[in-house]
């Protein structure tokens, strides 16, 4: 494990709210005199109905992160966490929220809301503050970019889907260097993407040609939806697929065969998260081997999803996967290089150089 900790690594699939450790959430609540309000959550203890419990957990996090100050503090905490893991590139995803501004007299009947752009700019401020001290604190500067998430759980009509997408596209236009892609996430039980979300995305497909999408795919068994997503990959520039836990064989074969003429498809594996949502007891039954070394059109990455929710970290995720499938150090390095190639960062050559430099000068333990 220590050997993996010392390796440079990439994180391509981490949700901001889910990446705040539970300890940090409790600390923030205690400062408000409200520490007892948070019951620590152990999803490994009881895996029944796991996905629903995960979404209850995000509601709990939202009750802690209720203003821009809390957002900034928690983002800084997440950045520190990944830098301490020797993560050289963090592609952090989040769906921008609006917070109530408490009014002067404490009466919030007509409370104003902060804007989604303020949310993004607060995250940007946290990244800048983190960068100002990163070299001194960690010995290297972790690159950070943002993916803005479309939350399928909040889609109730094609109009509401378009409204979410358009908000995100507007924000991306304001911060094109920071926002490098779109994520589609949210509760897959809430509704299928067929009636509203996919048609809305297709209506804006021109916008995604320069702004790639990563899509949470086949988290629950739904062959029809999986096929629709795979059918849309070219049109929507869906360059990466998250989880693919229950991807039907037919779809998997199409992805292995290759979708894009100019590059591979990124497959984002999140070992603990996949195990919990699939309700399997060990990684032995994980679908990693369906993809590993099966095609040069596949770019694998190993990620955490939500370190707070799943009480895991990047090194332990890679270690557990490497142990379960007897991966060598070179295999682990090969996966990191695949992750670099599937990153949405505009300068993957720079990430490659950074990776090689850090590989040849490991930290003194
Ligand atoms: P946020 O967008 O608030 O920074 O991160 C939390 C959100 O990420 C959740 O509300 C949920 O929509 C999404 N998310 C986090 N983990 C998962 C996951 O495992 N599956 C899916 N589908 N969505 C997730
Ligand atoms: Zn996810």
pLDDT digits over 52-111, tens only? 889 999 999 999 999 999 999 999 999 999 999 999 999 999 999 999 997 666 665 667
Q: According to the model, what pLDDT value does residue 221 have?
A: 95
Helix pair 50-62, 271-278: axis angle to 10 deg: 120
CATH fold, domain 2-101+110-360, is TIM Barrel (3.20.20)
Output the 3-class SS for 323-338.
HHCCCCHHHHHHHHHH
Distance (Å) from CA 149 to ligand 2 centroid: 10
Give the closest ligand to the alpha carbon of residue 268: 2
Ligand 1 pocket: which of 18, 43, 96, 240 to mutate (most atoms within 8 A of CB): 18
Distance (Å) from CA 152 to ligand 2 centroid: 12
Ligand 1 pocket: which of 14, 149, 215, 307 to mutate (most atoms within 8 A of CB): 149
Q: How many whole angstroms separate alpha carbon 155 and alpha carbon 185?
A: 11
Output the 3-class SS for the chain.
CHHHHHCCEEEEEEECHHHCCHHHHHHHHHHCCCHHHCCCCCCCCCCCCHHHHHHHHHHHHHCCCCCHHHHHHHHHHHHHHHHHCCEEEEEEEECCCCCEECCCCCCCCCCEECCHHHHHHHHHHHHHHHHHHHHHHHCCCCEEEEEEEEEHHHCCCHHHHHHHHHHHHHHHHHCCCCEEEEEEECCCCCCCCCCCHHHHHHHCHHHHCCCCEEEEECCCCCHHHHHHHHHHHHHHCEEEEEECCCCCHHHHHHHHHCCECCECEEEEECHHHHHHHHCCCCHHHCHHHHCCCCCCCEEEEECCECHHHHCCCHHHHHHHHHHHCCCCHHHHHHHHHHHHHHCCCCCHHHHHHHHHHHHHCCCCC
Q: How many whole angstroms separate alpha carbon 119 and alpha carbon 17?
A: 13
Q: Which of 291, 302, 293, 289 is nearest to 340 (CA)?
A: 302
What's the maximum distance between 2 C-alpha atoms anywhere in the chain? 63
Q: With a 6 A CB cut-off, is 278 part of the ligand 1 pocket?
A: no
For the record, the structure tokens of 292 come out as: 């590993």
Q: According to the model, what pLDDT value does residue 47 have?
A: 76
Q: How many whole angstroms separate alpha carbon 298 and alpha carbon 274?
A: 19
pLDDT digits (tens, 9 = 90+) for 13-29: 999 999 999 999 999 99
Burial of 45 (0-12, 13-18, 19+ CB in 10 A): exposed
Q: Which of 68, 56, 60, 129 is nearest to 97 (CA)?
A: 68
Give the closest ligand to the alpha carbon of residue 18: 1
Q: With a 6 A CB cut-off, is 58 part of the ligand 1 pocket?
A: yes
β-pairing, 143-151 vs 179-185, is parallel
The protein residue whose alpha carbon is closest to atom 6 in ligand 1 is 17
Average pLDDT taken over every residue of the chain: 95
Name every residue whose Cβ is closer than 8 Å to that of residue 194 and which is 6 or more positions away in sequence. 224, 225, 228
Distance (Å) from CA 286 to ligand 2 centroid: 16
Distance (Å) from CA 13 to ligand 2 centroid: 6
123-143 per-residue burial string, b: 16 or more CB within 10 A, e: under 16: bbebbeebeeebeeebebebb
Q: How many whole angstroms separate alpha carbon 294 and alpha carbon 298?
A: 8
Dihedrals phi, psi of 291, to nearest 5 degrees: -120, -30
The complex scores an ipTM of: 0.99
Q: How many beta carbons lie within 10 A of that of residue 76, not counting itself?
A: 17
pLDDT in tens, the chain (365 residues): 899 999 999 999 999 999 999 999 999 999 999 877 888 888 878 778 888 889 999 999 999 999 999 999 999 999 999 999 999 999 999 999 999 997 666 665 667 999 999 999 999 999 999 999 999 999 999 999 999 999 999 999 999 999 999 999 999 999 999 999 999 999 999 888 999 999 999 999 999 999 999 999 999 999 999 999 999 999 999 999 999 999 999 999 999 999 999 999 999 999 999 999 888 889 999 999 999 999 999 999 999 999 999 999 999 999 999 999 999 999 999 999 999 999 999 999 999 999 999 999 877 65
Distance (Å) from CA 220 to ligand 2 centroid: 13
Q: According to the model, what pLDDT value does residue 106 have?
A: 60
């Amino acid at each position: 494990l220590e050997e993996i900790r010392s390796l440079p690594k990439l994180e391509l699939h981490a949700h901001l709210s889910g990446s705040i450790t539970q300890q940090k959430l409790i600390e923030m609540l205690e400062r408000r005199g409200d520490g007892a309000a948070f019951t620590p959550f152990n999803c490994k203890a009881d895996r029944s109905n796991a996905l629903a419990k995960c979404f209850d957990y995000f509601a709990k996090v939202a009750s802690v992160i209720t203003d821009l100050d809390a957002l900034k503090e928690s983002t800084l905490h997440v950045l520190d966490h990944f830098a301490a893991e020797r993560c050289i590139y963090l592609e952090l995803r989040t769906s921008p929220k609006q917070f109530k501004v408490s009014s002067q007299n404490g009466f919030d009947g007509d409370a104003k809301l902060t804007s989604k752009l303020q949310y993004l700019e607060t995250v940007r401020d946290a990244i800048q503050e983190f960068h100002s001290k990163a070299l001194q604190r960690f010995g290297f500067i972790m690159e950070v970019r943002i993916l803005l998430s479309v939350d399928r759980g909040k889609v109730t009509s094609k109009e509401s889907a378009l409204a979410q997408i358009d908000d995100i596209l507007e924000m991306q236009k304001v911060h094109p260097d920071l926002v490098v892609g779109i994520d589609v996430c949210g509760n897959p039980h809430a509704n299928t993407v067929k009636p509203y979300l996919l048609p809305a995305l297709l209506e804006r497909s021109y916008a995604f040609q320069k702004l790639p999408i990563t899509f949470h795919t086949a988290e629950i068994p739904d062959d029809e939806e999986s096929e629709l997503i795979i059918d849309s990959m070219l049109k929507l520039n869906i360059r990466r697929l998250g989880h693919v836990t229950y991807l039907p064989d037919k779809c998997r074969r199409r992805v292995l065969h290759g979708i894009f003429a100019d590059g591979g498809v990124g497959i984002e594996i999140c070992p603990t998260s996949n195990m919990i949502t699939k309700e399997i007891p060990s990684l032995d039954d994980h679908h990693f081997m369906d993809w590993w070394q099966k095609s040069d059109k596949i770019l694998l990455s190993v990620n955490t999803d939500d370190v707070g929710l799943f009480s895991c970290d990047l090194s332990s995720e890679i270690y557990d996967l490497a142990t379960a499938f007897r991966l060598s150090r070179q295999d682990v390095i090969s996966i990191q290089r695949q992750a670099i190639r599937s990153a949405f960062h505009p300068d993957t050559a720079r990430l490659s150089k950074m990776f090689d430099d850090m590989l040849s000068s490991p930290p003194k333990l």
